[in-house]
Structure 1
Amino acid sequence: MLTVGDDAPDFAAPLVGAETEPFRLSNRRGTGPVVLAFFPAAFSTTCTEELCTFRDELSAFSDLNARVFGISTDLPHALSRFRAEHDLGFDLVSDNDGAIIDAYDVVDEWEHINLTTVAQRAVFVIDADGTVRYAWRADNPGEEPDYDAVAEAVESLA
């Protein structure tokens, strides 16, 4: 299980912003903290609330040179629509093959609808050197992160 003090696993995946383009986490090293917000499904109630909360709190992270990335197993097209519909000012990462959620040990299964590979709701704060400085995993799909704790983790790296 990935914990505080571990090296954050590197990954390459489609990044959904104004355009969809290739992205590699290690290319962010040295530029400031990174917040990885894993979420199960675009357009679901709790995921929308969570990412809109990050959207509304984004200015505090930007002031600290931190970047937020939302990560789910949704395809880039769905993430693009979700990002536009909710005016998210940060990029989303499409983990369409489940490799990232596997590397971060946040794989969840929704047996009630036969989904065997979705992201467990989780947040990791990674410092500029690529070390995990904050780690949180939800105990149930409807649980949201402690946004103040995430902000404090980012602020501690400034």
Structure 2
Amino acid sequence: MAARLEPGQQAPDFTLPDASGRPVSLSDLRGRRVVVYFYPKAETPGCTTQACDFRDSLDRFAAEGFAVLGISPDGPEALAKFTENQSLTFPLLSDADHAVAEAYGAWGEKKNYGRTYEGVIRSTVVVDPDGAVELAQYNVKATGHVAKLRRDLGLEG
């Protein structure tokens, strides 16, 4: 498992395709704070709850100068369907080979129903305007995460 990121470290840059196949780069968002969240799979209950929470809070994040990016191993077609079905208004990015998740420490061993396997560790990394890690949270819960993140960032709930 890759090392987890710590505040003050430079966030690894990346370029990944969005739901329509267009490349999105973290470096293109310099000058803004960016919430980068990793989730296991589009259209699953927990991931849908989390994505809809970000969608419903997006205006408040934007008002504070934040951009939000969701990253999963799903391909662009699955992301497009998820975006449409849930009326998501922020970019979802495809990390099919999970290289970005690994670079962010969001890929590793998981246990579920007695089974051990490798997969996405639900994680959120906040990147400051200069590209450094401001906050890194791992093994977050899908439900209530966005409200907790806003509190941890000193924003209203």
Change (3 A) 1:2 1:110: closer
**What residue in structure 2 maps to residue 80 of structure 1?**
80
Residues 10-89 of structure 1: matches in 2 within 5 Å? 10-16=13-19, 19-30=20-31, 32-89=32-89
Which amino acid is 1:9 matched to? P
1:65 maps to a residue whose letter is G
Gaps (5+ residues) in structure 2?
Answer: none
TM-score, with normalisation over the residues of structure 1? 0.84
Shift of 1:153: 5.3
Structure 1's 72 and 100: CA in aligned 2 closer, same or farther, altered over 3 A?
same
Q: Deviations over 1:47-72 (max 9, x none)?
A: 10011011111110111221100000
Equivalent in 4, 7, 16 of residue 4 of structure 1: 7
Q: Which residue of structure 2 lines up, in the alignment, with residue 146 of structure 1?
A: 145
Shift of 1:148: 3.2
Aligned partners of 1:134 and 1:111: how far apart in 2?
Answer: 25
CA RMSD of aligned residues (A): 2.3
Deviation by residue 1:63-113 (Cα, 9 ceiling, x = unmatched): 122110000001110011001100011010100111101100111356769
What is the total number of aligned residue pairs between the two structures?
A: 150
1:134 counterpart letter in structure 2 = L
Q: Is the 8 A contact 1:134 1:150 kept in 2?
A: no
| TM-score (structure 2 length as normaliser) | 0.85
- Whole-Å separation in 2 of the counterparts to 1:115 and 1:49: 24
- 1:107 match: 107
How far apart are 1:22 and its partner, in Å? 1.1
Identity %: 34
Distance 1:137 1:110 in 2: 12
Structure 1 pair 83/117, CA: closer, same or farther in 2 (3 Å)? farther
